[in-house]
Chains A and B, each alone.
Chain A
Amino acid sequence: MQRLRVAPRKDWQAEVERLGFAYHTLDGETYWDESVAYAFSLREIEEGIEAPTSEIEGLCFAFVERALKDEEILRRLAIPETQWGLIRDSWQRGDRNLYGRLDLAYDGKGPAKLLEYNADTPTSLFEAAVVQWDWLEQAMARGAISRGCDQFNSLHERLIAAFGGLRNPKPERMHFTCVQGSFEDKGTVDYLIDCASQAGIDARFTFIEEIGLLADGRFCDGASLPIEMLFKLYPWEWLFHEQYASALAGARCQFVEPPWKALVSSKGLLPYLWEMAPGHPNLLPAYFEGDPRCAELGANHVRKPLYSREGANVTLVEGGAVRDSDDGPYGAEGFILQATAMLPNFDGNYPVLGSWLVASQPCGLGVREDTTPITKNTSRFVPHFIEP
């Protein structure tokens, strides 16, 4: 694993905009950064990232099985009791999941360590699936990297295939939703609509604020068309607490991600995984705050809210002192403490590896780096390639 300087394309903004990538620059700062790239060996990808990702997904499935039989876990994860049935039913029906992203700390030497699982509403998908793929093709064509390179990235193909397999027979129509006012969320949803369309699905968009409730209990879109299948880039823990929460169970709607993903998208997953597989090379010791075993973590650890996004409210404690923290509105549901896996430092840059799963199959990698050890929404997305 190396961090290499690669000359950006002269007109890189136009090149990525050609693909429909609108958020390459956020708040005046470069988000898509092709002045550098991470190089991996095939072995690092397959043994260091792909295999552990698959194994962790297996552990997560075992955890869902366990949590659904244990009310104490459901309470600990702050899942409202009124939604337990919805979650249980979705798991027992075998409702398919579409995608997820494991965030890993990996330096190419030791085993990758799971930082968290973005199982419910992961973004940075389009840049991983399409923009870096196109960058690779062009980088090889213009001789910026050697021609025999590859990339861990069959996301696009897998997404199209996964849409076709969400239901049997294949769904005819599907709705897609996200909040108003977020370029990044809308971009992600637009891309997924594109994939679903290519899978032969009639894909419709509606903002989450436009969703209505029909007299027969079903949800409807802004045009009052009933919603039978809904991809929502909107977290379950929010849906569970909003006005329509009580309508979820009776809506006769198949959700993507399915409700059972609420169990694995919480940071509360991490202490349970460690409990189920103590000493696992790809896991970090983690405990709920207040658990006496937190003392085992010592003075260096990370404090994370059960629910938080993009690094918000995460605190890095070193030698008992706060080294880096990010303010935010999260934390009401409690915190977990996790042993610190220091991200590798490449010239003052800290990369986090986003290891993608589509339909639970590992199939892609996206690297984001920041100049601080907590990856936030200010981090830059940098492309990667596999050396020949």
Chain B
Amino acid sequence: MKRSTQIGLAAAGVVLVATYWSLSGGETDDSLIYNNLSECRAANQLSASQCEQRFNEASANHLRDAKKFTSSASCEQEYGASGCQSATWNNAQVFIPALAGIMLARQFMSGGGAAQPLLPPTSSACPPGTRQPGSGRPECEQPARSSSSSSSGGYYGGSSSRSRAYTTTTGQAMVARNISSTGMASTPSVASRGGFGSSSRSYSSSSSS
């Protein structure tokens, strides 16, 4: 085939694509990630009903596939404090890692393709000491869990961190980098402005061919 296999178009001016790489610094992949339903809606890349559908699917798959714990403590030992949620499975109360978000492969953005559930980072990837601000591991920082979030909603609150650690369903540690929230560093003063663009005024409005 001599044409592209898939074409995805993000809304112009809204940067929603995150880059992923493993904590060990391995391969990169381009994917979309939404931490909760409202983030998905706000991103405006999927329709509101698509967002809901993807989260519902991911949530159902997550409940089915997630490792089940009989106590909150044993779950939190593996996934960190506030990294777990209670759930009902086969008529029994269990504890499973919280649904920290969903990941969509870039090539599935416009079409079908199931969303992959994302779990909180494990304690081996983010030891307890790294989960507070200022630990030097911003991706491990754990924002307070929002009380309003449902089981299909967010695990994370409104962290301003540019990167976040997760665990995939296959147990792989990964860090998502949110490139849409670049902080502005202090910059040198502007010496002048408007030194480009004069030629186009003397030709026509179009500078291309």
Contacts and interface: CB of A to CB of B under 8 A. Distances in A.
A296 B192 CA distance: 52
A212 B206 contact: no
B208 A309 contact: yes
A88 to B, nearest CB: 22
Q: Is the interface of B mostly helix, strand, loop or mixed?
A: loop
A212 B207 contact: no
A215 B199 CA distance: 24
Given A238-B200, A244-B196, A198 B30 contact: yes
B9 interface: yes
Contacts of B104: none
Contacts of B199: 235, 238, 241-242
B209 A121 contact: yes
Contacts of A242: 195-199
Contact of B4 (A157, A214, A243): A157
Interface stretch (A56-64, A71-79, A179-187, A286-294): A179-187
Nearest to A211: B196
Interface residues of B, number: 46
A51 to B, nearest CB: 13
A293 B203 CA distance: 32
B92 interface: no
A211 B189 CA distance: 13
B90 interface: no
Given A199-B30, A235-B207, A242-B199, A153 B3 contact: yes
Given A194-B10, A209-B194, A212-B191, A185 B207 contact: yes
B58 to A, nearest CB: 22
B136 interface: no
A152 B3 contact: yes
Nearest to B206: A182
A218 B199 CA distance: 21
A342 B19 CA distance: 48
B187 A238 contact: no
Interface in B1-47: 1-5, 7-10, 12-13, 15-19, 28, 30
Contacts of A218: 188
5 contacts: A182-B208, A198-B10, A200-B17, A212-B190, A242-B197
Interface of B: 1-5, 7-10, 12-13, 15-19, 28, 30, 106, 177, 179-180, 182, 184, 187-200, 202-209
